[in-house]
Amino acid sequence: MSRTDESTLIDTAMRGDRSAMGQLLDRYQHRLFNVVLRMVSNREDAADVTQDAMLKIVAHFDEFQGKARLTTWMIRIAMNQSISHLRKRRHRQTQSLDDDGDEGKRKGGARNTADDREPGPLERVQQNEMIAHLHRAMDNLDQDFRGVLVLRDIDQMNYQEIAEVLEVPVGTVKSRLFRARLALRQEMMRLIDTSAGRRASAGGGNG
């Protein structure tokens, strides 16, 4: 959608046109959903949180002043809603981050359809394992770290856009991003070591 189209839709929606508002939500729903999904790691929760975020977007749409891009503003709301959800979830302790039940849902995010560069069987196993570790490592990260990684890698925002979403200076974004990448790598290494140890002990037990 061109900026002009978007601008027209925003103006129309601002005047209370539900159809225009619906079109804006419709156009950005997948982007919002993906950001939320990678934050909350659960498709069902992501649907709920995205829906709540959309309700907030509509409710506060007249507060959008056009200083940032609409998508940035929307994603800020979705991100805040995700963080709020994570806090509540942690508080309730109703769902363990190590819950195997989530694993299957996470697999939805992995490549599950053959593409044009189908890897060999060994590569495929390694790739799947890597993706599983990646999801789990992301889950285990501090929400600030997870947030900056989601915005940078999943939504592929530039530093300035991330700064606008998180409402922090660009320098803070860079610093946080580096520390997030470092934390992710450390968590990945921990998971890989744990996995290797488990395999070794299972092999020893069989033999």
**120-131: b (≥16 Cβ within 10 Å) or e:** eeeeeeeeeeee
- Residues between 37 and 76 that touch other proteins (CB under 8 A): 37-38, 43, 47, 50-51, 54-55, 58-63
Nearest to 41 by CA among 128, 150, 129: 150
Stretch that binds other proteins, among 9-17, 70-78, 87-95, 195-203 (CB under 8 A): 9-17
Binding mask 78-117 for other proteins (x = CB under 8 A): --------------------------x---xxxxxxxxxx
Among 3, 15, 67, 91, binds other proteins (CB under 8 A): 15
CA-only gyration radius of the chain, Å: 20
198 binds other proteins (CB under 8 A): no
CB of 105 to other proteins, least distance (A): 9
From CA 165, how far away is CA 150, in angstroms rounded?
A: 12
From CA 174, how far away is CA 163, in angstroms rounded?
A: 9
Nearest to 82 by CA among 154, 132, 131, 24: 154
From CA 9, how far away is CA 14, in angstroms rounded?
A: 8
Among 1, 5, 8, 16, binds other proteins (CB under 8 A): 16
Which residues make up the interface to other proteins (CB under 8 A)?
14-18, 22, 25-26, 29-30, 32-34, 37-38, 43, 47, 50-51, 54-55, 58-63, 104, 108-118, 120-121, 130-131, 134, 138, 149, 153-154, 156, 174-175, 177-178, 181-182, 184-185, 188
